């Protein structure tokens, strides 16, 4: 019989899973505005597919969230880009890089 992998909720305590991030590590509420970070809430469903579980981190132009993918019954990381137009080019550059990496993930020349 095949053993199923442990669910994420079994590996992380509930208090850790839903804990708010440390304020000193926070990106700051003032940047949640037009052109800035998009407000994402734990328990929110995005694009009728992803249920937000917890914030994983943030950077200069995005936040990253742990989410449950309801279509594939797995956990994923979602990156939510800031909305200002000058961040769009950086986002497209990142998508292009990640696409190349994904296409070469099994390429032994890349290991």
pLDDT tens for each residue of 67-93: 999 999 999 999 999 988 888 888 899
Helix ranges, 1-111 (H): 8-11, 14-17, 88-103
Q: Give the chain's end-to-end CA distance (angstroms, integer).
A: 33
Q: What is the pLDDT of residue 9?
A: 56
Interacting residues of 37 by C-beta distance below 8 A, sequence separation 6+: 27, 31, 58, 62, 63, 80, 82
* Residues in the chain with pLDDT values less than 70: 1-25, 111
Tokens of 17: 């899973």
Q: Which CATH architecture has domain 8-83?
A: 2-Layer Sandwich (3.30)
């Amino acid at each position: 019989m095949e053993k199923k992998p442990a669910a994420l909720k079994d590996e992380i305590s509930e208090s850790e899973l839903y804990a708010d991030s440390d304020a000193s590590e926070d990106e700051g509420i003032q940047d949640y505005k037009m052109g800035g970070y998009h407000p994402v809430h734990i328990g929110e469903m995005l694009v009728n597919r992803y249920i937000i579980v917890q914030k994983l981190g943030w950077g200069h132009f995005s936040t990253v969230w742990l989410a449950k993918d309801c279509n594939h019954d797995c956990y994923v990381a979602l990156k939510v880009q800031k909305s200002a137009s000058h961040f769009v080019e950086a986002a497209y550059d990142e998508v292009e890089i990640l696409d190349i990496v994904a296409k070469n993930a099994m390429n032994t020349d890349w290991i």
